[in-house]
Structure 1
Amino acid sequence: MSILAINEQLLRAIGVGVAVVRASDLSFVFYNGPFDEWFGTPADGQTLLDLIPSLDPRELDDVKQSGLRYTVELQIKPKRRTLIFATAVSLANGLSEQVLVVEFQNITRIRELESMIDSYSTMVERNTRELEREKERVERLLLNLMPRAVYEEFKTFGVVTPQLYDQVSVVMLDFVGFTDFAAKTDPTVTLSELNDIFTAFDRIVEQFGCERIKTIGDAYLAVSGMPDATPDHATAVAHCAVRFLRYLERRNESHPHKWQARIGLGMGAAVGSVVGIQKYVYDVFGPAVNIASRLQVFANPMHIVAPEEMKYALIDEFQVSDIGRVDIKGMGEMDLINVTSGLSVPQPVRRF
């Protein structure tokens, strides 16, 4: 219900006190409930001036003679509180005898209700602002869980249709010796370290137009080529991988905890969708993810391993060396390559 609608209903609820008196002697012919509530029940023979002496007798006589309307604001204290009434007296003609119609509108009550309406309006505005802020917080949270294009679909339709992407590239990073480190280190320190590192990784991923999908413990997964197709998806994840290692090397120079990571790259098809009903998670499945996950195991610390099919996409910007054919669990034999930084400094992707 709008504020205007509430205002109208409240004003109607105020009521108007009405009394009809004979013009000749001001004796009562009729009075309604609000009049009775505010001024009391007139006794037999009691006139309007007896009940409300603050009315001006001369003005009442002028109404009877000229027919002009008499208006006045009266202050009356029927009990402990003072009430203010807007009073109007008019002459009614065309009857067997002349009568005066006296109307009373409770100004005090109107002002109280206006104050209530103002307070309610302020409360509604404050709640609206709080809801907007909460909406923004929820939006930021969901955008941390899924790409913006997926979020827009989810916001519009309430569901996300699983999408198959024929060609994407994936980077999977895992830290060396993390299990032992976590067992020997205070959990708050471990979480602080991971938060610091993953925050830096997120900035790198964003620079090169990739999407961070998730972290699982010490594992970090990002993709390029979804939900928006990217022709240079392979080089994008490779640049991210190189920057990850470069960041860790520089960080290790000034931090007491030295981190080393293995990185696997994968390229191929993938399916992306929101998983879950109450707890939403955007996840990616498919050959590209499986390859990256398997290959990071074969990487030496602070090295990047990729399938040979990515070689020709990377060779112009990176140094690529053959590792040879390796038997990979669940995938059979696969030719692998080692990827290191090229001589040229890559330019981050600009987002507008």
Structure 2
Amino acid sequence: MKISSLILCFIAFIGCYSSYLFSQKSINNSIHGFQIPADSLIKIGEKHQEKGDLAKSIEFFEKGLVIYEASKDYKKIGDCYSYIAISHYYNADYPNAISNFEISRKNYERVGYTKGISSINNNIGGIYNHIGNYVKSLEYYQNVLKNEKRTGNKDIIAATTQNIGVIYTKLEDYEKAIEYLYKANEIFYLLKDEKGIAQNLTSLAHISIKQKKYDEAQNKLEKSLKIITKKKDDQLKLDVLLNLGLLYHKQSFLKKSLEYYKDCLLLSKKMDNRQYLSESKIAIGKIYNQFNENKSAINYCKSGLNIANEINSLSLKKDACDCLYEGYKCVGNTKLALNYFEKSKLFKDSLNINETSNKMMSMEFQNKQLLDSLAFVNKQHAVQLKHTQEIHEREKQRNYILGTLGLIVLLAGGLYNRLNFVRKSKKALQFEKERSEKLLLNILPEEIAEELKEKGSVNARDFNLVAILFTDFKSFTQTAELMTPQELVEEINICFKAFDLISEKYNIEKIKTIGDAYMAAGGIPIPDDKFLENIVLAGLEMQEFMLIRKYKNDLINKPAFEMRLGIHSGPIVAGIVGIRKFQYDVWGDTVNTASRIESNGTVGKVNISESLYQLLKNSDLFDFEYRGNIHAKGKGNINMYYVEKKSSKKEIFKENELFAKNNS
């Protein structure tokens, strides 16, 4: 299974052009004497792209691009380059596809089109996945998911999740692959994205074929083909046809398999899709090898190899060389058979660059074995043509060769086991290193963790302005008495886990938990322009979570906590204390005052100080309610304010009710 269909998801991300036609009256193009607006040129290009007339589609996209460049509409310029990249992709011209996608991304970055940037990264990751560079591919996918955690574009998250599932399929980690594909499938169904569902069914069917669950695979492929036929999407149909061919091939229904491979070949010619053209020819060649029609097999596989060389697909080069090795071996051309065997091994090693040097050593032994085996077959054939005495001499020679081969196999096995042990040891060390890194980043902010690793210590830092948030459960002791110890820990964990996710969402730093209290800070260790607004938004969302949690617990007569929350802004000192079980902490009067603001708060409300109010009073996001000059223990009287989002209580209730339903 290939992943060319993954790029198709981008077309859905490009904005509708109809509203733009009216602003392009003075900027147009001429074809056959008619003036054609830029948006119409793009639509014509799309039609040619769907038909597989890729050169013509690029021609129209470039005409539209000239018009948009003249008007300096960077969003539309980015769209044009994306369409051009997709046409190059369908033609398996991956360098040009990547180049145009990168230009598209730069134009989206100029106008802050974040959804477009994510879709571009997703598509570039798909190309690297296609050519076997899984590490590079995952880098792009991880960037997409990182960005989409903030924006929440479900269509991009679904496509990226599916792409990661495809990588796990190629790595033969089918359990993990199925996990990611089903996650993507849930979102596709939620979005009613029929093309996404069809792609996902094809990917899951490919795994079923690998696991020899043939009935399950056939059911999924038939469902996928039904959707694709309805949508008239020939690009997606290529993948289904290829997998149907593979399904019957694996079951040794060779004639049925050959029919689907040939259907895929005809359609890939029509669509001018060189990726599938190469793959279907190689698959047909393998079938002909099984029919002992080796000359036909060699012709098909040579043609497939030439295309694979043009598009620089390592996996297809390897498959073609495997096919040619079998073909030439069967027709008795030992020299060419050995040549293609060696090439196949080299391409296989290139697909896994981390083990290339070890596998090259192993390959030398395997080549030696193959050479000796082929020589032995020829000698055995010659022995049968000579008289009895000569046969006797040849048998002695044969036994000597077999003994030598046995020794070589024994040595090769020992060396392979040693190399495999070294590889597993390196993998285990790398895993432990990554786990340690992850643990350190879970304890400390990234910047602080890097300083600690580099210097072995961290200097304390002064911050002139940060915001400190405190929470505390009201009547904690009385509520806790109504729960078992296990239920108490579980309830606190649910609440604090939600707070952690909210803190991460608004880019505020969790400092610590103290019993039933939760403390976080905004503006450290790296301040940003919106940290004051973000920490208030985080506080409001925490209170909303607690209200919903209580609502759900009340429905099942389960004890629930109510919470006070306070925020204060001012200067602090931050750093690491101790040398064992160390943690990142903050000190100063601001921290003490924030604690007093919380203790004088009200359940379900976000209580803020006068200093924070003065910094946010002109914000368009919040409404404030003055509480008065309230006495705070150890601090005297402090002006305090309640803060809420600028939305009606009715709207908030609807949002909370919907959230409660979705999480019930």
Query: Superposition RMSD on alpha carbons, in Å?
Result: 3.0
Equivalent residue, structure 2, for 1:324? 628
Q: How does 1:151-190 map to 2 (within 5 A)?
A: 151-190=449-488
Residues 337/111 of structure 1: CA separation in 2 closer, same or farther (3 Å cut): same
Say if 2:339 is the partner of 1:339: no
Residues 163/113 of structure 1: CA separation in 2 closer, same or farther (3 Å cut): farther
Q: How does 1:258-297 map to 2 (within 5 A)?
A: 258-297=560-599
Equivalent residue, structure 2, for 1:240? 538
Equivalent residue, structure 2, for 1:143? 441
Report % sequence identity: 29
Q: Counterpart of 2:479 in 1: which secondary structure?
A: helix
Shift of residue 130 of structure 1? 1.8
Residues 113/273 of structure 1: CA separation in 2 closer, same or farther (3 Å cut): farther
- Farther off after superposition, 280-289 or 159-168: 280-289
- In 2, Cα distance between the equivalents of 1:147 and 1:135? 18
Shift of residue 119 of structure 1? 2.0
- In 1, Cα distance between the equivalents of 2:448 and 2:398? 64
Amino acid across the alignment from 2:636: E
- In 2, Cα distance between the equivalents of 1:154 and 1:247? 35
- In 1, Cα distance between the equivalents of 2:493 and 2:413? 50
Whether contact under 8 Å (1:73, 1:85) holds in the other structure is no
Amino acid across the alignment from 1:182: A
Residues 257/140 of structure 1: CA separation in 2 closer, same or farther (3 Å cut): farther
Shift of residue 172 of structure 1? 0.6
- In 1, Cα distance between the equivalents of 2:429 and 2:479? 43
Equivalent residue, structure 2, for 1:124? 422
**Uncovered stretches (5+) of structure 1, i.e. residues with no partner:** 8-71, 76-83, 87-106, 346-352
Q: Deviations over 1:286-312 (max 9, x none)?
A: 232222112211112222222211112
Amino acid across the alignment from 2:623: Q
Q: Deviations over 1:293-350 (max 9, x none)?
A: 12211112222222211112232332223333344334x32423222312159xxxxx
Say if 2:476 is the partner of 1:205: no
Q: Counterpart of 1:161 in 2: which secondary structure?
A: coil
**Uncovered stretches (5+) of structure 2, i.e. residues with no partner:** 1-356, 362-396, 649-664
Shift of residue 258 of structure 1? 2.3
Whether contact under 8 Å (2:608, 2:643) holds in the other structure is no
- In 2, Cα distance between the equivalents of 1:234 and 1:143? 24
Larger Cα-atom Rg: 1
Q: Deviations over 1:178-231 (max 9, x none)?
A: 122334421211111111111111121122121112112211111110111123
How many residues align? The count is 251
Equivalent residue, structure 2, for 1:15? none
Pick one of 598, 605, 621 that aligns with 1:303.
605
Equivalent residue, structure 2, for 1:313? 615
Shift of residue 112 of structure 1? 5.5
- More helix by percentage: 2
- More strand by percentage: 1
Shift of residue 257 of structure 1? 2.7
Whether contact under 8 Å (1:145, 1:213) holds in the other structure is no
- In 1, Cα distance between the equivalents of 2:417 and 2:540? 59
Q: Deviations over 1:82-124 (max 9, x none)?
A: xx789xxxxxxxxxxxxxxxxxxxx95x876654443232122
Taking structure 2 as the reference length, the TM-score comes to 0.35
Q: Counterpart of 2:527 in 1: which secondary structure?
A: coil
Q: Counterpart of 2:646 in 1: which secondary structure?
A: coil
Whether contact under 8 Å (2:568, 2:611) holds in the other structure is no
Residues 304/336 of structure 1: CA separation in 2 closer, same or farther (3 Å cut): farther
Equivalent residue, structure 1, for 2:491? 193
Equivalent residue, structure 1, for 2:522? 224
Q: How does 1:98-109 map to 2 (within 5 A)?
A: 108=407
